[in-house]
Structure 1
């Protein structure tokens, strides 16, 4: 019988796996910056395109086309509550598949309290069948290792498994991308619990290099825990707000502590809060 020390992979074994097949997020407004990602991240890297208020459908489609033309894989987001009609979603998917050869999307409920159209949550979009009708083969859904500020843990867990069940029934493959965080502990605990139910691939969200103020602002908005103990791992304190930080300490801790037999297939998903070019440079240098 192997002991835990024998089973634990070394950092050297895990780090390349974590950084292999990474993904990164952009906004539709970043469409003119796609070229700067060349030679910084690998070809065919999945690039998520957010569904933010103030950006129209045409700009999201343009961004998907630019991602595809640059040799990467476009992964447009669909924000269920921000869709005004089923027809709007149908037209969006038709344009994405026709013009950018999109075959995967990431579906979230959206960050508004009441839906602007017929879709209340990601599950309602998945169950509508419209994704499958447009040839979408892979669908990403959100995971919350540290919970959600407005949703109970039980409701999050139920919603996650309902979505995975609906995607399996539709014959579509799934993956989970998590909120970003600073602490490996809740991520590892969440993965351990998840693997008792499903082997679906997971992308752990990490924040690209950014100012401390920006990171704390996004953390507060997303319900991500930021304790003095966690910040100390970054060589910072909560009173030092003028510096900046990158995800190196978190990635190194994950690389040291992830056990494939326990935590399953894991990759990284980068949120470039400090800017797309800065995050891409950081990835290239860290790799």
Structure 2
């Protein structure tokens, strides 16, 4: 593959980062308030559905996102829901704070469902999102696979979810797990488009964070992080005391996407492993002057 030129890097990279989205937990309201002046108004901010947080905490976080001028995307974890009643309680509460325009339907971490929903498709197939006025549903994508789900099953589920949402007249965004290597991501995008799925894709990108922390998340989610891959990303696993940003990765990804226009609508989703403020400041600075990771470290 021919390395992209710096000129092609800059314009494409700025465009890719222009409409980024973010992610926070129910406990991150103070961090959101700290970072709000740096985050562009209207930015989509996903609110996770963690097992150690309750529904009121998630609703409060979604309300804080809305109240500060951003667009909340609350996660709804199928296997963590104990009943349809709990699901409706959550949707009602989100509706009351104006946080139901867009949601992220995901299977969730538990190996066994706590209630009637074993997968995100089970949630989507009920038609309940239409009933509550949801306009857009985000669904998960895994460019490097999933440690517990066979790849053919991932593709079957993705096609089923995308098809069901299209039949229901709901907008669809595919939100991916983060990665360090552009090659499997680009191959996966081509496979998505080859299956006739034209939904917007938001590629997961880790924001700037400590190297040890980044590698810890990579191991947890089964992301490839060997020496060659992380060097390509822009840091070395022999120096776990430093920090790393996604500059090199975003530049390379943007240039390669620009050379393949058939990839359709592709944006990025920043995982704020180093905090909302640091991640948002990185995005603001990168949009002004895209840099390589080496330049960022100088």
TM over 0.5: yes
Q: What per-residue deviation string (whole Å, max 9, x for no partner) do you get for residues 230-277 of structure 1? A: 221244322221111111111011111113522111101000112222
**Cα deviation digits, residues 75-118 of structure 1 (max 9, x gap):** 00000000011011101111111213421100100011000111
The aligned runs of 1:116-265 (5 Å cut-off) are 116-196=114-194, 197-259=196-258, 261-265=261-265
1:258 partner SS: helix
1:113 equivalent to 2:114? Answer no
Structure 2 length-normalised TM: 0.91
CA displacement, residues 31-50 of structure 1 (integer Å, 9 cap, x when unaligned)? 22222233312110000000
Counterpart in 1 of 2:17?
A: 19
Q: After the TM superposition, which parts of structure 1 deviate over 6 Å for at least 4 consecutive aligned residues?
A: none
| Map of 2:284 onto structure 1 | 284
Q: Distance in 1 between matches of 2:268 and 2:166?
A: 23
Correspondent of 2:69 among 63, 68, 71: 71
| CA pair 235-64 structure 1, distance change in 2 beyond 3 A | closer
Deviations 1:183-232 (A, max 9, x none): 11111111111111221100000001111111111101111101211221
* SS of equivalent to 2:134: coil
Moved more, 274-283 or 198-207: 274-283
Q: Is the 8 A contact 2:74 2:99 kept in 1?
A: no
Specify whether residues 12 and 97 from structure 1 end up closer, same or farther in structure 2 by C-alpha distance, changes over 3 A only.
same
For the residues of structure 2 that align with 1:116 and 1:167, how far apart are their CA atoms? 24
Task: Answer with 256-265 or 21-30: which moved more.
Answer: 256-265
d(CA) in 2 for partners of 1:25, 1:97: 20
> How many positions carry a matched residue from both structures?
281
SS of 1:28's equivalent in the other structure is coil
Match of residue 28 from structure 1 = 26
| SS of the residue 1:135 aligns to | coil
